[in-house]
Amino acid sequence: MPAEKIITEWKKGVFKPIYWLEGEESFFIDQVMEYAEHQILSEAEAGFNLTVFYGKDADWASVVNACMRYPMFAGRQVVLLKEAQQMKDIEKLEGYIENPLGSTVFVVSYKEKKVDGRSKLSKLLKQKGVLLTTKKIYDSQLPEWAGQMIQQHGLSITPKALFLLVDHIGNDLSRIRNEIEKLAVNLGTRKNITEDDIENYIGVSKEFNVFELQAAMAQKNMSKAIRIIQYFEANPKAGPIQMILPALYNFFSKVYMIYNVSSPDEKTVASSLGVNPYFVKDYIGAAKKYDFPGVEKILLLLHHYNLRSVGVHDGNTSDAGLMKEMTVKMMV
């Protein structure tokens, strides 16, 4: 069951006795745990009926004893077991899970791991409780996820601003949420997030970033590309080579695919490449500036300079030096 559905049911007053939250993406686990800790019970009820354990310090008997207590002055009690992956003898919770108390809401956070699906514990969880198994969101899904969160805040965002935001933060859902909340506060009465807002409130230059470098290379604009690289040289955190090279490889890989697309119109290309229609002109433009062998050469160069950036056959050249050298070789 997704995190959003669990919270939606809780808001409706629908509770199951066991909730097991596991997997790679801690954001969704934390989201459910935070609601369970602060929203299921009122402040007055929580004083008597909220118990929180941490796996590293908890023993299974204490957890079970807490779950077996009846609520005081409330319809239910909440027992939270955080960081349960660090708990010893966790399989000994099976006895309680097999016969849980209906007035207890027992929520377990089991991060970065999953219970063995063949185990008795796993089978009991599926029979008696609600199992949330989380997975990391792919980088390609981040813009859509961030866009949905922005809509939940009653805001909109320009396509370029969205990609600047996501590219700057990376695959850190909690930080993306925090930055969106910061933007919402700073916008005041405005509802649309622009590139200027990303620059002013998040600290990403709208002129000197990986997308502008990508566009300059796509247009074979060497002077602009070198200026952006020089900006990165003076501001290393703005454009680390470990972030730039994969982004460029992803871009030119899609340009490489255009030569096999049946029709060159923007709608067909966007669908075939799986890219945002707003940016499809950049891919088509690059395919016109470079022929097929030229894009093939760029992909080989990106691979070569990625190896050099980690010290393979190169121990002294600066990141900016590698970028400048690569850029010249791409465009000649």
pLDDT digits (tens, 9 = 90+) for 5-21: 999 999 999 999 999 99
pLDDT digits (tens, 9 = 90+) for 204-224: 888 899 989 999 999 999 999
Which candidate, 46, 109, 31, 115, places its Cα nearest to that of 77? 46
**Is pLDDT at 315 greater than 80 in this prediction?**
no
Which candidate, 248, 265, 177, places its Cα nearest to that of 214? 248
Could you tell me which CATH number the domain at 3-134 has?
Answer: 3.40.50.300
> 18-23 and 104-111: which strand pairing?
parallel
pLDDT digits (tens, 9 = 90+) for 135-150: 998 888 899 999 999 9
**Is pLDDT at 262 greater than 80 in this prediction?**
no
Distance from C-alpha of 310 to C-alpha of 37, rounded to nearest angstrom? 44
Distance from C-alpha of 129 to C-alpha of 170, rounded to nearest angstrom? 34
Q: 139-202: which CATH topology?
A: Helicase, Ruva Protein; domain 3 (1.10.8)
pLDDT digits (tens, 9 = 90+) for 70-129: 999 999 999 999 999 999 889 999 999 999 999 999 999 999 888 887 888 888 998 989
Which candidate, 3, 45, 38, places its Cα nearest to that of 20? 3
Hunting for tokens 């009991």 — which residue is that? 124
Which candidate, 238, 196, 226, places its Cα nearest to that of 330? 226
Domain ranges of the chain: 3-134, 139-202, 210-331
Report how many helices (DSSP H) and strands (DSSP E) the chain contains, helices first. 17, 7
Distance from C-alpha of 108 to C-alpha of 4, rounded to nearest angstrom? 17
Distance from C-alpha of 197 to C-alpha of 153, rounded to nearest angstrom? 16
Q: Do domains 139-202 and 210-331 have the same CATH topology?
A: no
The structural architecture, per CATH, of the domain 210-331 is Up-down Bundle (1.20)
Label residue 162 by pLDDT band (50, 70, 90).
Answer: very high
